A and B are shown apart, each in its own frame.
Chain A
Amino acid sequence: MARSTTTTRSPPRHPCEQGKDLTRRAQWPARAALLAFAALLAVLAPAVSAAREYLQLFVAEPYLELHTGPGRGYPVFHAVPRDESVDVLFRRTDWFKVRTERGVEGWASQADMLKTVLADGSPFKFELGDQAGFSSHRYELGAFAGEFGGANLISAYWSVSLNPQMAVEVAAGQFLGRFSNGETGDLGFAHVISADTRWSPFLTLGVGIVHIEPKGTLVVPENRTEQTAYVGGGIRYYLTRRFFMRAEYKAHYIFTKRNQNEEADEWKLGFAFFF
């Protein structure tokens, strides 16, 4: 299957091999289809190609407990004795799916995996979802409920940390009010004042757009899309593992095409996690 289809040097041909050449040509589409199928298999089953790349870890404690599922509530069904090895297949939340030398597959907890060692005897280290990660991480994702200019607000945000203090944030929201509905989109910077404490305040500054669809019974004003700028602040509170709460206020300045600019206050509270 892995034979090359191009040759750099053609061997001397016997005249009677001409017929064979034709049959070979006829095999081309079949071979190409086979290759395409193999490529498809390689794409669909990355586990097959990555089979040799699993990390091998050795049990350094008296034994390593394997659970039936990725959670503390799932029962222990197998124990891997000291000095035996396991292959780490993948990770789900704080649990690792492992395979023993005898082919038994089960789930080992993060706490137990910290006590295993690599082939050279050095301890296995990996990223933990703990408060240290809260202080310094790459991405944040969260959802909020709140109020925007007197209307109910549903909002979500995504942030990329440049360093523990500075992050670029993108937020999108939908507000639903008695007089108007609409959407908001914001892009800005967040400065975390105290990144390594459980309560960590932050300041935000950025620009955005707002699309307003007014509701009217007799005269319905036209929908409009305006540019905005905002300044705000809030506080993050680390809850547990990768979780934190986030409360935020933003003062929006809406640059309208009318004579006067408008202002809108945004208050929101929600959950977020880092990864």
Chain B
Amino acid sequence: METGIRVLLLTAALALLPGCATVRGWFHHGKHAAQSTDTQAGSPSGTTGPEEETPPRVIEPQVERRQIKVPRIKSSNVELGAFYGVLSIEDFGSNADYGITAAYHITEDFFFQGEAGRSRAGRTSFETLSGNLQLLTEAERRFTYYDLSLGYNFLPGEAFLGRGRAMTSAFYLLGGFGATDFAGDTKFTVNFGGGYRVVPTDWLALHVTVQDHVFQTSLLGVTKLTNNLEARMGATVFF
């Protein structure tokens, strides 16, 4: 029985083999056929039959694709600058205030801002009335702060200077937190405020900012939240 099946399979294989041999390429039949005709056309003997001849190519595509090298596009999202203004320290009067800012513009709406500033506290009314009494030493009167804020641009517009000059502008809101070193202690501080930015050139921006720095203190005997309002002008450069 087994030999019968073997004979049958061998016969089937023998019958299939010549059929397979006639097929030149199982998967790239057309390509192989074209190549073979090309080589045969080049041979001087010309022994192939007329049914396998294909006309030679008229146009050889010799166009080279142009390689475009895309240069790196410069990003200008960082804003560095300085400011000068007035800081009103609660109970200690208003004094000059100066510092530096750094911002990173993430989207057209939002930006991160870090800032550090310094001012000097004046005398409280109690100190003024009592004569020589000093609540704080000179070193303790130094008011130093830093904060990290998130900014939101709104009301975009243009400011016009005369007839032929327009500068883009925007208002922005600021809110964040930081620390204030004042009266011999460092306090956690929350800051919030807003500002107006005018951009006269691509790289320069001018700012007017008003902010409140709020922190808790028990310096004058009662624990309370103090509001320290700041109004300032600044200039920044985009990088």
Residues of A within 8 A of B (CB): 50, 53-55, 68-74, 88-97, 118-120, 122, 124, 126, 129, 141, 143, 145, 152, 154, 156, 174, 176, 181, 215, 240-243, 271, 273
Contacts and interface: CB of A to CB of B under 8 A. Distances in A.
A145 B199 contact: no
Contacts of A92: 75-77, 105, 238
Interface residues of B, number: 40
Given A118-B70, A119-B68, A126-B73, A154 B108 contact: no
Contacts, number: 104
Contact of B68 (A74, A120, A126): A120
B68 to A, nearest CB: 5
A57 to B, nearest CB: 10
B156 A69 contact: yes
By Cβ-Cβ distance, the 9 closest A-B pairs, closest first, are A69-B168, A73-B156, A152-B188, A71-B108, A143-B148, A90-B74, A176-B188, A241-B107, A118-B68
Contact of B71 (A54, A143, A152, A240): A54
Nearest to A270: B148
Given A95-B108, A97-B202, A271-B112, 8 more contacts: A69-B170, A74-B168, A88-B73, A91-B74, A91-B76, A93-B77, A181-B185, A273-B112
Contacts of B153: 71
Given A91-B74, A118-B68, A118-B70, A154 B148 contact: yes
A217 to B, nearest CB: 12
A120 B65 contact: yes
A69 B110 CA distance: 15
26 contacts: A50-B74, A54-B71, A69-B156, A71-B156, A72-B108, A73-B155, A73-B156, A74-B156, A74-B158, A90-B202, A91-B74, A91-B75, A92-B105, A95-B108, A118-B70, A141-B104, A141-B112, A152-B188, A154-B177, A154-B179, A176-B187, A215-B185, A240-B107, A243-B107, A243-B110, A271-B150
B68 A90 contact: no
A92 B238 CA distance: 10
B107 A94 contact: yes
B166 interface: yes
A176 B71 contact: no
Given A55-B73, A126-B73, A176-B186, A93 B178 contact: no
Contacts of A50: 74
Interface string B12-37: 00000000000000000000000000
A50 B107 CA distance: 26
B106 interface: yes
Nearest to B153: A71
Contacts of A89: 74, 202
Interface in B49-94: 65-68, 70-71, 73-77
B148 A71 contact: no
Of listed A69, A74, A126, A174, residue having the most chain B CB within 10 A: A69
B155 to A, nearest CB: 8
B179 A176 contact: yes
A55 B108 contact: no
A143 B70 CA distance: 34
A97 B238 CA distance: 14
A243 B202 CA distance: 25
B107 A129 contact: yes
A70 B153 CA distance: 11
B46 to A, nearest CB: 43
A237 to B, nearest CB: 15
A91 B148 contact: no
B73 A90 contact: yes
A215 B184 CA distance: 11
B106 A241 contact: yes
B148 A93 contact: no
A68 B108 CA distance: 13
B230 to A, nearest CB: 19
Contacts of A156: 148
A91 B76 CA distance: 6
Nearest to B70: A55
